[in-house]
Amino acid sequence: MGKDRRLAAMAVAASTCLALSWAPAVAIAHEAGDAGAGIGGAAALAADVSSDNGLPKTIEYQKVTGEIESGQTYSLVTTTATAGSGKTEYRILHYTDGAAALDKCKTSAHSDVLSPADCTAGNFAGTGAHQWTIEAVEGGYTVKSNTASGKYLNISAGGATPGDEAQVLKVERMDDGSFSIGREVSGTMYYFAFNNTANGSWKVSTDPYGFVAYKKTEVTPNVIPNDKPASGVTYDQPYASGTAGSQYFRIPSLITLKDGSLLSAIDARWTTLGDAGGLDTIVSKSTDGGKTWNYSFPNYFNDSTNAYNSHATAFIDPVMVEREGTVYMMVDLWPGGVALNSAANNHPVNASGYVEIDGEQRLVLFASPNPDTQRSVGVERGTGYTHYVGDFGADGYAPVIKADGGATEFYVDREYFLFDENKDPVYCQQLGSSDYVQQNVFYFNADLHVTATSYLWLVSSSDGGASWSDPMMLNEQVRTSVDKNDCFYGVGPGRGVVTSTGRIILPCYTYEYGKGDGHTSTIYSDDGVTWHRSNNLQNQTSESTVVEADGRLYLFARHGWYAVSTDNGVTWRDEKSLPASGLTIDTGCQINAITYSEKIDGKTAIILSCPSASRRINGTINVGLVQDDGGISWDYTFDVTKNGTWFAYSSMTELPDGSIGILYETKQTAASADSITYESFSIEDIAPNAEIGNERNVSVPLYGEIEFDIEGSLKGYENVDTAILGIKVEDNGDGTSTVTFEGKREGVVEFVDPASGVSYTVTVAPEKLVEVVVSPGESTTLGVNGAEIAHKPDESIASIEVTSQKLSEVWGEIPGSLGSDNSFAGEAIRLSDALFTFTANGENWTVSGTTQDGETAYLKIEKAGLPGQGQAGVIQLKFEANNLFRLYDTSTKKHLHFWRDGKACFDQCGGNDLAGDSMELYRPAKEGEDASTSPIPGYVRVTDAAQVVDGGQYLIVASVGEERFVLNPSLGVGNKYAHVVKVDPGRTEQRLKVTGVAPGVTDAMVGDTVCRITVAGYLAPEFVWSDDYSEATATFKHTAGGETQELACKVTSVRTEPTETKDGLVVYTAEVEFEGNVYRDEKRVVLPAIGEQEPGGGTSGATDQKPNSSTGSNGGASLPRTGDPVTIVGLLGAAGISLSAIGARLFRRKN
């Protein structure tokens, strides 16, 4: 469950305020009284509607398409939406009884039926705050509020107000179907109108203004069945925004089933990111490794529409585990209107929901859903309830027994839907609509209500999530036996664990009202039916995750603590600090852990995911190796997100191939956790070069080294190709050895250490590779990281030189530097990439730029530290003294601000900080315009507001002393410095100069980058001879492109006859001319001495010639083979051709 509860509560409280003359009313209210106070509950409806076929009639406000009917009641809605909110918001005319001014509430559309049907702000429901009776009178109409005071709409030249006296108004239908409301004052018609600014206000105008009229209409309600939303399919990602109609998802859970399928669960939060207000549980399953996902809803209540409602129920925080083919999923269930934050009532009662009656724990029910009302009648003392739930019968129903007298007045089924004494459904109005639904004791609009506290709701599936069991509520077993009940005892979301004994363990924690998170504990069961609760951790802790390793259970908890159990989860002891153990972690967020199936580096491995920095950014997967004494050594860390990218709640699972799947919260906009991402990573990436089971896959950088320690020593590599890999083993004297691998040439080597049985696969490859093609005698340059030459090229092919050069000289314009903090040590960009286009918008401006990804970023001063947004603000440009400008967003009423105290980042300011809000504007210099002496060379400072033109492009600059910082077009949400670029005219770049010498391919390495240099041209040929050496061909291959040319050679021979004691010799010479050079190759055939001939042999050397098969590479008397350097050097040298000129050295033919 999200933990920013205090801030969320403040935001909710702020949104409840129904401001009168100075601010708009908010129709999605967050305060509530008892059911009888309104919200369309059963009690509220009784006085307002009649009964029809067992269902009451209900009220809709239907759009008027004809004329106004005298004496009818209407709601009036503006035809124009408020400006700059980024979403469509029209205003409903509202009057608070007794107030001196008119007010307003929100609606999002001009639908055929107005929603909300009644005011949902504060306790105004049922007061007639939105209801106006329009009565025809002589000369026009009167418009009267249906509130108790019965005020009239009055119009004067000075404005519109509620009045005691009826005024005769003109109500006329306009061409667009809306209605104007006006009054003639001193010969001038004044019309009731709306000022559509950001907050909006009522006014009068001499121009007619239209209102959409909605007539109060009695209708027979539609009954919504107790069905769940339709299932469906997604691809690649299980919970992309819009899946199943939900905009937002939070709190992931992910497990691998025994058949290898992936099963995930998460909150479907519909239109909110809050922790209450109409949340349901959606699951999604993949049988193809995450390519395709099939979703469905195991937990869903229809008490509200699929949209945020502060009085709705909430299934939240799933945790899952599989045991012997059965999946168990537990969530928190909040009754309607109650939660720790984001609900109408954020002060749950300290109770379990159960009371012991006649020796049995019974679920007790109250007349009111309101926790304060329940407290007033003794809920925290176990009194005040009106009914309780008896035992379930074989038919699946349990009696709802009246506490006073013991009569059965209702029944509930196993999902706690209410039925009357005849077991017929009992209905109530659905929140947010005029439809009706069956009552449930968890629904705000029901007749009976559970205790206003949290409930542990457990369901199971024996078919991999295709269907789910009836729920078990575990409060009866794990909350009734404790000495003290807090207002919340709930789920540690993510995944549980099944121990080696088959015990199911699920993490839980308490929350104490007014204090915050309480203490972690776990619940456990050996059969999935009977559950027990462990002791609490002593330190403040909350959400947690549990793993088993080396006979112990490890619990890792939010707030930075971990504990150990040696009795299978009954008790937790030895609490230790996670940061002190060496783990870099944001202690203010949920974490997740699993035990890996193979040992890593010979140790049992715990894999743990968490954000590694405060503010829930920079997600990591960490590998902790369990030591002999039970301690944990965090030896490997893998970045899931970095550079300030959001990473919050997560859940991991091991996939059948040993890789790690992770489902985690990130975000794409300024809203927190608005995006859910599934990814998988190989264990070799997570723990690079580690010994995984009995295999170690090692990646060695070409021309670089890696070093690691092993137990014992290392053998078995004697036959490894040392041209590819160099191996050095040093005994550390403590039973371990340090192994160093040196990458010499690209390739793969394999060997097995006989002592440990570990198989090694070592891959040598460049970490970074840049390919360069030059011609002999030509040069080119490229940017590189670092100036150190780690590997020199073959200087007979190419030469290199590292130099430093200003980027302004390379690019021809001034550079700027990005960064993830105020050091601005990141990449360089052209300042022209930070230009914003100013587009006229009336007297104001729309200001937009293009991000590095090619997206449009608008200046909208709405989110702290994030001025770049996907929607445009309405920007007023204020010209100040000293040629400075302030940029004011009229839609949010905030100035663009820059922190000049060392933070060096842009922000927003709702006040009047002239120094902090003042900016400089610069435009690109025109052709022929000298801007070399400008503070930003190449740009001219704007010195007058008239110089800002429609369609012009400008740098928005904050000046701090001699330094200047430019607003960067960005949609980044995880790093506020993505929106800033520091002007950096002196920034240099290391440049590598490559000069071609002769055709060939060679490598150089500068810093961490291998530069593969191809000097274009044809290499020395490969000669191919016929069997009798009478013919030969020469094939020339080009280094760039690989094309070949084959030419026939001229073949000559010189024969020396043998004697009786001395061998003879035939020397065959092949000669070819290509591109002005002559190339030769020769073959030598020994003619045996005559005395050595076999009996019957002839005397012709041609008959007994024997081609010599020796390599001749050692300079001995044997004949060299084709392409041997001895032969080529000798022959080509005689022809006056240098070896380096043809690159023969690197491309010998190998026979």
The sheet with strand 759-765 has its strands ordered as 691-692, 695-701, 759-765, 747-752
So where are the chain's domains? Answer: 5-31+58-219, 225-331, 694-765, 768-809+990-1015, 815-984, 1022-1142
Looking up tokens 């490969």, which residue turns up?
A: 1022
What tens digit of pLDDT does each residue of 905-960 get? 999 998 889 999 999 999 999 999 999 999 999 999 999 999 999 999 999 999 99
Q: How far apart are CA 617 and CA 934, in angstroms?
A: 39
Q: Is the pLDDT of residue 29 over 80?
A: no
Instruction: Report pTM.
Output: 0.75
The sheet with strand 705-711 has its strands ordered as 705-711, 736-743, 725-731
The phi-psi region of residue 951 (left if phi > 0; otherwise alpha if psi is between -120 and 50; otherwise beta) is left
Confidence of residue 434 (pLDDT cuts 50, 70, 90): confident
Cβ atoms of 527 and 324 closer than 8 Å:
no
Cβ atoms of 456 and 354 closer than 8 Å:
no
Q: Quick one: pLDDT at residue 32? A: 30
Q: Quick one: pLDDT at residue 199? A: 73
Q: How far apart are CA 338 and CA 373, in angstroms?
A: 13
- β-strand partners of 269: none
Average pLDDT of the residues in 502-526? 97
Q: Quick one: pLDDT at residue 85? A: 52
Comparing 195-199, 303-307, 821-825, which segment has the lowest mean pLDDT?
Answer: 195-199
| Reduced DSSP (H G I as helix, E B as strand, rest coil) percent helix, strand, coil of the chain, to 5 | 5, 45, 50
Q: Which two tokens stand for residue 1146?
A: 């690197």
The verdict on whether omega for the bond into residue 116 sits within 30 degrees of 0, i.e. cis, is yes
Average pLDDT of the residues in 90-99? 95
Of the chain, the percentage scoring pLDDT greater than 70 comes to 89
The phi-psi region of residue 892 (left if phi > 0; otherwise alpha if psi is between -120 and 50; otherwise beta) is alpha
- Single out the residue of 390, 387, 533 nearest to residue 456, CA to CA: 533
Contacts of 515 (CB under 8 A, 6+ apart): none
Confidence of residue 662 (pLDDT cuts 50, 70, 90): very high
Determine which helix (DSSP H) or strand (DSSP E) holds 203, and give its type and residue range: strand 201-205
Cβ atoms of 686 and 638 closer than 8 Å:
yes
Pinpoint the alpha helices (H) of 575-708: 683-686
Q: Is the pLDDT of residue 483 over 90?
A: no
What tens digit of pLDDT does each residue of 485-509 get? 999 999 999 999 999 999 999 999 9
Q: Quick one: pLDDT at residue 36? A: 33
5-31+58-219 and 694-765 share one fold: no
Q: Is the pLDDT of residue 672 over 90?
A: no
User: What top-level class would CATH report for the domain 694-765?
Assistant: mainly beta
Q: Is the pLDDT of residue 802 over 80?
A: yes
Average pLDDT of the residues in 683-705? 96
Q: Is the pLDDT of residue 334 over 60?
A: yes
Average pLDDT of the residues in 701-722? 95
How far CA 298 is from CA of 340, 718, 896, 985, in Å, comes to: 23, 59, 47, 60
Cβ atoms of 501 and 568 closer than 8 Å:
yes
Comparing 96-110, 141-155, 540-554, 1081-1095, which segment has the lowest mean pLDDT?
Answer: 1081-1095
What tens digit of pLDDT does each residue of 809-840 get? 989 999 999 998 999 999 999 999 999 999 99
- β-strand partners of 262: 256, 286
The phi-psi region of residue 477 (left if phi > 0; otherwise alpha if psi is between -120 and 50; otherwise beta) is alpha
Q: Which two tokens stand for residue 503?
A: 């015990």
What tens digit of pLDDT does each residue of 878-904 get? 999 999 999 999 988 999 999 999 999
Cβ atoms of 1056 and 1064 closer than 8 Å:
yes
Q: Which amino acid is at 814?
A: I
Q: Which two tokens stand for residue 550?
A: 């080396």
Q: How far apart are CA 202 and CA 82, in angstroms?
A: 12
- Single out the residue of 852, 866, 855 nearest to residue 615, CA to CA: 866
Q: Is the pLDDT of residue 22 over 60?
A: no
Query: Of residues 84 and 846, which shows the higher confidence score?
Result: 846
Confidence of residue 5 (pLDDT cuts 50, 70, 90): very low
Comparing 432-441, 686-695, 931-940, 1093-1102, which segment has the lowest mean pLDDT?
Answer: 1093-1102
Contacts of 635 (CB under 8 A, 6+ apart): 601, 623, 624, 625, 687, 690
Q: Is 1142 helix (H, G, I), strand (E, B) or coil?
A: helix
Q: Quick one: pLDDT at residue 453? A: 98
Q: Which two tokens stand for residue 145?
A: 């509020």
What tens digit of pLDDT does each residue of 625-648 get? 999 999 999 999 999 998 778 899
- β-strand partners of 135: 142
Q: Which CATH code for domain 5-31+58-219?
A: 2.80.10.50
Q: Is the pLDDT of residue 1061 over 50?
A: yes
Average pLDDT of the residues in 410-427? 97
Find the radius of gyration of the CA atoms of the chain.
40
Question: DSSP secondary structure string, 465-490?
Answer: TSS-PPPEETHHHHTSSSS---SEEE
CA diameter of the chain = 148
Comparing 40-44, 590-594, 598-602, 604-608, which segment has the lowest mean pLDDT?
Answer: 40-44
Q: Quick one: pLDDT at residue 481? A: 86
Instruction: Please give the torsion angle defined by the CA atoms of residues 119, 121, 122 and 124, in that order, rounded to the nearest 10 degrees.
Output: -20
Contacts of 959 (CB under 8 A, 6+ apart): 920, 935
Q: Which two tokens stand for residue 757?
A: 């049985």
Determine which helix (DSSP H) or strand (DSSP E) holds 533, and give its type and residue range: strand 532-533
What tens digit of pLDDT does each residue of 257-298 get? 999 999 999 999 999 999 999 999 999 999 999 999 999 999
Looking up tokens 């996939």, which residue turns up?
A: 655
User: What top-level class would CATH report for the domain 815-984?
Assistant: mainly beta
- β-strand partners of 345: 338
Mean of all residue pLDDT scores within the chain:
89
Confidence of residue 12 (pLDDT cuts 50, 70, 90): very low
**Total residue count of the chain as it appears in this document:** 1151
Average pLDDT of the residues in 244-251? 96
Q: How far apart are CA 635 and CA 210, in angstroms?
A: 69
Q: Which of 665-669, 671-675, 771-775 has the highest mean pLDDT?
A: 771-775
Determine which helix (DSSP H) or strand (DSSP E) holds 802, and give its type and residue range: strand 798-806
Contacts of 85 (CB under 8 A, 6+ apart): 198, 891
Average pLDDT of the residues in 191-196? 93
Q: Is 278 helix (H, G, I), strand (E, B) or coil?
A: coil
Strands (E), 336-485: 354-357, 360-366, 387-389, 398-402, 408-412, 418-419, 427-429, 436-438, 449-450, 455-461, 472-473
Pinpoint the alpha helices (H) of 442-594: 475-478
What tens digit of pLDDT does each residue of 569-596 get? 999 999 999 999 999 999 999 999 999 9
Confidence of residue 1093 (pLDDT cuts 50, 70, 90): low
